[in-house]
Chains A and B, each alone.
Chain A
Amino acid sequence: MIPTLSHYLAVAAVLFTLGLFTVLTRRNAVAILMGVELMLNGANLNLVAFNKFVVGGLTGQTFALFVVVLAAAEAAVGLAIVLSIFHTFKTIDVRAADLMRE
């Protein structure tokens, strides 16, 4: 089978869903961040695939680049927060960080 747009979209969908699943089920904050990265990658794959097959030009790729940059920023800040949580609660179980609730 020769890959078409739909196949790329399928791969992207699987990536996204697995990312969603990771975020939904994990208690480890680092794992949750990994899930977010997977979701972003899925979306990015969609952008580039549509750019190639439907839109043309460079807009999709440029946006994918911006997403990559923002994902890097998000990862840096997110992991910094994780470290901060670890310093505070001595664990990175997200259930522990619920001070705001009380």
Chain B
Amino acid sequence: MEHATQELGPLAVHTAGYLWLIPLFPVVGAVINSLFGIRIQRTLGKKWNHGIAVGMMTLSFLVALRALAEMISLPASERFLQNTLWNMATAGSMRFDLAFALDPLSMMMVLIITFIGTLIHVFSIGYMAEEPSYWRFFAYMNLFVFAMLLLVMGDNFAVMFFGWEGVGLASYLLISFWYTDIEKAKAGMKAFVVNRFGDFGFLIGLFLLFWSLGGVWQPRADARSVRYVPEIGYKSDSTALNPYESTGPRTVTIHGHAIPLGPTLNFRELRDQIVVEGTGVGEHLRHQKVWGVMLLTLVAMLMFVGAMGKSAQLPLYVWLPDAMAGPTPVSALIHAATMVTAGVYMVARLSYIYAMSPTAMGWVATVGVLTAFFAATIGFFQYDIKKVLAYSTVSQLGFMFIGVGVGAYWAGSYHLLTHAFFKATLFLGSGSVILGCHHEQDMRQMGGLKKHMPITAWTYLIATWAIAGFPWASGFYSKDEILWKAFTQRGMELFGTPAPWLGPAVFALGLVTATATSFYMFRSYYMTFTGKYRGGAGHAEEHDEDPHSAHAAPHHVTAGHPHDNKDPVVHGAHAVHGAHAAHTAHAAPAHAAPAHDDHGHHGGLPHESPRSITFVLVTLATGAVLVSLLGIPMLWSHHEPILEHWLAPALPAEVSFAHFSHATEWLFQGMGVAAATIGWFFAMKLFKDGKSSVPADLKARFFGVWTVVYNKYYVDEAYHAIVIRPALFLAAFLSWFDQHVIDWFVNFVGWVARLLAAVDDAFDKYVVDGAVNGVGGLTREGGRLLRRIETGRIQTYLYGAALGSLLVVLLNFLFR
């Protein structure tokens, strides 16, 4: 698997003047739908709203395919397409252009975003059909895709950061799409605020990196490279009219390529400076320290804070589960396929920086594995199908960070790709289920849906296989590669101390997490699709005569749960049913009418979703199987996996792994499959057909543990306790302190003063008064005199100033 790394040269650039079209189309769609959407919807119908949005997405995807074709036709080392539109700002040594670039990594991201994005747009047609502000939804979706494309296609940090903030904005808008519900508005706000925390770290890391590249370069004796002379500040040369041209060499020529040096925001220039050996910049940075910490470690860890926010890692993951308040296609698009992978993308994009700092690698991998494990355990006990998927997303993102943390950048990116497919399938499948069950999200109210919605069930099962890691679906290949690389990585450090055990430890915990993943995903599958239907049967009869009954469906589903009597299934959920009813009532969107009467179904029995939805599900599930072809391990085919080969030019980091025999590798793959099978087995035993009573027993026995985990380890409460309560307590304490201690002290001082005053009084009256009166009179007379000077008129003051300056000049002449 390890290939000899030869010295890397600078990137060859190919100009592709059409790249700007890729982000242009979605933003055009967003602008049209936001400006004229409501008029279009009223006069022309919703068909045109989604027609514009989906059409723009398709065009964007087609241009991306054109770029892919061009990239494939180039030799591997020259796969870098670039398109500079115009210069946006130049200030000092900072300069950034509005420019787009595609290398194999961002090409992969662009294809994911445009392809899966288009499918999710198509899905939304059916899902949002009854939404009154249909146009607003599609405007936001297109805006989100635009921002995401800027993020991955930006040629420099500025454009990337613009997209980075843009997706934050779009996700805020989409999560709180039903903003009249205060809880959903709050969820959007939470996502926004938590992400700001991360962005702060990202920005500081960026500034630090920019600052560290400043300085002056002097040619070395061999003239092939330069010496780096750090210099704080700017050395001005007053004789030169244009100081910009008068500073030392700004480029160095290596192998006939001129490489620009110095602070830069441009990814390619940054990469060339650091990766190409002869520049000496990488060597210089390796020895640069800030407060005793290697500078690159600081940069990498601070930027990773940004990734923690965006990609929902511990401890900044709290926004993602709440973000499920948004419409389901939003969850699929933002929280599964694209936005949350921005952090992984960023780490992979800057792989050469992370690879230079073993501490940063260990940090990323540790946070990743802890998040993966933590989120998976929460996923065990959730009943809301979307919440299960949300925690599963957090967990899978943890896997991706293990990959990019241990240096298997291609494996992390590959997991990103496979996850995009299977998690989008799962989310859209859950959306289809929610739609079929009339906006019911609680899995205890489902069951047996396989009969009613076979296509959804099958696609959901395929995606579950993929996420659990069975060799006939894609998740196996990426997850297995990540875990294997984690096991063979022995070079990581934990806060500066070498920790060769860290890799195997990450592997072990990752394997446990993989088992857990398989368990809770099959649990959600069995609870939803097998056994008997536990939801609101009976509505069908009641409302048969009313063709628009579905409009009232949410109220029926949430109102009374009359089925409890008719369908006495003994189930773990029963105990908390009352509490749950309240929860559902709040979860059901008040104004999103879920009706599907145009399909001939009425409230009551679940039904398969419309064609636009099943088509998307089937496409995505097929993709979830087929992308495994991109990652067939070398062990099987004796060829480098296709994707690894494809991404190699974009991931120039040099990371070494320990070598093991093929037998060991086979063994580890077997362990992966075994883990998935164990999880599947237990899930089948416990939850298939909803017959087993073991879950209820276990829950009764370990009710304490169950409560803690069910309540997500009380992390939200902990945030309250750690951040909000102490502030309130401090305020209360200070108030008490003020009232009691300070007041007492003041009163005491007052008493002492009174005592002294009484003593003083006599003395004062006879001895001091005389003197005081004298001084007082003097002061009053002086004041009367001085008041003349303070006229309050500027002229007087100016006389003073002018006379004073004359006096100074005069004195200067006299005493020179």
**Are any A and B Cβ atoms less than 8 Å apart in their complex?**
yes
Binding site for B on A (CB under 8 A): 20, 23-25, 32, 55-59, 94-95, 97-101
Interface string of B781-801 (1 = CB under 8 A from A): 000000100111111001100
User: Smallest CB–CB gap between A63 and chain B, Å?
Assistant: 12
Given A20-B802, A24-B799: A59 in contact with B794 (beta carbons within 8 A):
no
A25 to B241, CA, bound (A): 43
| Choice from A23, A57, A98 contacting B798 with Cβ under 8 Å | A23
Q: How far is the CA of A56 from the CA of B799 in the complex (A)?
A: 35
A99 neighbours in B (Cβ, 8 Å) = 792
Q: Looking at A23, A25, A57, A99, which has the most chain B CB atoms within 10 Å of its CB?
A: A57
Name the residue on B nearest A55 (C-beta): B238
Contacts of B73 in A (CB 8 A): none
9 tightest CB-CB pairs across the interface, nearest first? A98-B792, A101-B792, A57-B238, A24-B795, A100-B792, A23-B798, A24-B798, A57-B239, A94-B793
Given A57-B239, A58-B241; A101-B790 close (CB under 8 Å)? yes
A20-B798, A24-B802, A97-B792 are known contacts; what are 20 more A-B pairs with Cβ within 8 Å? A20-B802, A23-B795, A24-B795, A24-B798, A32-B794, A56-B238, A56-B239, A57-B238, A57-B239, A57-B240, A58-B241, A59-B238, A94-B793, A94-B794, A98-B792, A98-B793, A99-B792, A100-B792, A101-B787, A101-B790
Cα A35 to Cα B792 in complex, Å, equals 19
When distances are taken between beta carbons in the complex, the residues of chain A under 8 Å from B798 are 20, 23-24
Task: For A100, list chain B residues within 8 Å (CB).
Answer: 792
- The docked-state distance in angstroms from the alpha carbon of A51 to that of B802 is 26
| CA A100 to CA B797, docked complex, whole Å | 15
When the two chains form their complex, are residues B794 and A98 in contact, meaning their CB atoms are under 8 A apart? no
- CB-CB < 8 A to A32: which residues of B? 794
- CB pair A57–B241 under 8 Å, yes or no, is yes
B796 (CB) vs chain A CBs: closest residue:
A24
Roughly how many angstroms separate A63 CA and B238 CA in the complex, as a whole number?
Answer: 13
**A contact residues around B799 at 8 Å (CB):** 24
Task: A32 to B795: give the CA distance in the assembly, Å.
Answer: 9
Q: Inside 8 A of A25's CB, which chain B residues have their CB?
A: 795
Contact for B791 among A20, A24, A57, A101, CB less than 8 A: A101
Smallest beta-carbon distance B784→chain A, Å: 13
CB distance from B803 to the nearest CB of A (A): 11
Q: List 17 A-B contacts (CB under 8 A).
A: A23-B795, A23-B798, A24-B795, A24-B798, A24-B799, A24-B802, A25-B795, A32-B794, A55-B238, A56-B238, A56-B239, A57-B239, A57-B240, A94-B793, A95-B793, A97-B792, A100-B792
B interface, CB within 8 angstroms of A: 238-241, 787, 790-795, 798-799, 802
List residues of chain B with CB within 8 A of the CB of A59: 238
- A55 vs B558: C-alpha distance in the bound complex, in angstroms? 83
A56 to B240 alpha-carbon distance, docked (Å) = 9
Q: In the bound complex, what is the Cα–Cα distance between A32 and B793 (angstroms)?
A: 12
Q: A57-B238, A57-B239, A58-B241 are in contact. Are A23 and B793 (CB under 8 A)?
A: no
Bound: A41/B239 CA distance, A: 26
B residues in contact with A20, CB < 8 Å: 798, 802
Bound Cα distance A91, B794 (Å): 16
Within the complex, the shortest CB–CB distance from A52 to chain B, in Å, comes to 14
Query: How close is A80's CB to chain B, nearest CB, in angstroms?
Result: 17
Q: How far is the CA of A18 from the CA of B791 in the complex (A)?
A: 23
Q: Which residue of B lies closest to A99 (CB)?
A: B792
B794's partner among A23, A56, A57, A58 (CB-CB below 8 A) is A23
Neighbouring B residues of A56 by C-beta, 8 Å: 238-239
Which residues of A have CB within 8 Å of B792?
97-101
Contacts of A101 in B (CB 8 A): 787, 790-792
CB distance from A35 to the nearest CB of B (A): 10
**In the complex, what distance in Å separates the CA atom of A100 from the CA atom of B799?**
20
Task: Find chain B residues with CB under 8 A from A95 CB.
Answer: 793
Whether B791 contacts A98 by the Cβ 8 Å rule is: yes
CB distance from A69 to the nearest CB of B (A): 18
Contacts of B793 in A (CB 8 A): 94-95, 98
Shortest A58–chain B CB gap in Å is 7
- The answer for the CA separation of A97 and B799 in the assembled complex, in Å, is 18
The chain B residue with its CB closest to the CB of A26 is B795
Contacts of B794 in A (CB 8 A): 23, 32, 94
Question: Which chain B residue has the least Cβ–Cβ distance from A58?
Answer: B241
- For the complex, what is the distance from the CA of A81 to the CA of B78, rounded to whole Å? 65
CB contacts (< 8 Å) of A98 on chain B: these are 791-793
A95-B794 Cα distance, complex, nearest whole Å = 9
Query: How many angstroms from the CA of A23 to the CA of B798 in the assembled complex?
Result: 8
Say how far A81's CB is from chain B's closest CB, in angstroms: 12
B76, chain A: closest CB distance, angstroms: 50
Tell me how far the C-beta of B783 lies from the nearest C-beta in chain A, rounded to whole angstroms: 13
Q: How far apart are the CA atoms of A99 and B794 in the complex, in Å?
A: 14
**Nearest B residue (CB) for A29:** B794
Residues of A within 8 A of B802 (CB): 20, 24
Most A-side CB within 10 Å, residue of B239, B241, B795, B799: B795
Docked complex Cα distance between A98 and B241 (Å): 50
Q: Measured between alpha carbons, how far is A97 from B241 in the docked complex, in Å?
A: 48
Residues of A within 8 A of B238 (CB): 55-57, 59
Q: B805: shortest Cβ distance to chain A, in Å? A: 11
Q: From A20, which residue of chain B is reached at the shortest CB distance? A: B802
Output the least CB separation between B792 and chain A (Å). Answer: 4
Residues of A within 8 A of B239 (CB): 56-57
What residue of chain B has the Cβ atom nearest to residue A100's Cβ?
A: B792
Q: CA separation between A97 and B794, bound complex, in Å? A: 10
Closest to A27 in B: B795
How far is it, in angstroms, between the C-alpha of A57 and the C-alpha of B792 when the chains are bound? 43
A26 CB → nearest B CB, Å = 8
Chain B residues with CB under 8 A of A97 = 792
Shortest distance from the beta carbon of B122 to any chain A beta carbon, whole Å: 56
Nearest B residue to A23 via CB reads B798
Chain A residues, Cβ within 8 Å of B787: 101
CB distance from A77 to the nearest CB of B (A): 15
A54 smallest CB distance to B (angstroms): 12
Report the separation of the CA atoms of residues A95 and B792 in the bound assembly, to the nearest whole angstrom. Answer: 8
Q: Which residue of A lies closest to B238 (CB)?
A: A57
Give, as a whole number of angstroms, the nearest-CB distance from B139 to chain A: 41
Q: Which residue of A lies closest to B787 (CB)?
A: A101
Q: A55: shortest Cβ distance to chain B, in Å?
A: 8
Q: Name the residue among B239, B240, B791, B798 with the largest chain A CB count within 10 angstroms.
A: B798
Task: Give the CA-CA distance A24 to B794 in the complex, in Å.
Answer: 8
CB distance from A27 to the nearest CB of B (A): 9
Chain A residue nearest in CB terms to B240? A57
- Measured between beta carbons, the chain A residues less than 8 angstroms from B240 are 57
CA A100 to CA B793, docked complex, whole Å: 10
CA distance A24 to B801 in the complex (A): 11
A59 to B794, CA, bound (A): 32
Chain B: minimal CB distance from A31 (Å)? 12
How many angstroms from the CA of A29 to the CA of B279 in the assembled complex?
64
CB distance from B240 to the nearest CB of A (A): 8
Q: How far is the CB of B67 from chain A (nearest CB, A)?
A: 46
User: How far, in angstroms, from A95 to B795 measured CA to CA in the complex?
Assistant: 10
Residues from chain A with a CB closer than 8 A to the CB of B790 are 101
Q: A55 vs B802: C-alpha distance in the bound complex, in angstroms? A: 28
CA–CA, A57 to B802, complex, Å? 32
Tell me how far the C-beta of B30 lies from the nearest C-beta in chain A, rounded to whole angstroms. 39
Please name the residue on chain A nearest to B801 by beta carbon: A20
User: Nearest Cβ distance between residue B739 and chain A, in whole angstroms?
Assistant: 39
Nearest-CB residue, chain B, relative to A24: B795
Report the separation of the CA atoms of residues A100 and B798 in the bound assembly, to the nearest whole angstrom: 18
Bound Cα distance A55, B239 (Å): 9
Q: Measured between C-beta atoms, what is the minimum distance from B568 to chain A in Å?
A: 80
- B436 CB to closest chain A CB (Å) equals 66
Contact partners of B791 in chain A: CB under 8 A: 98, 101
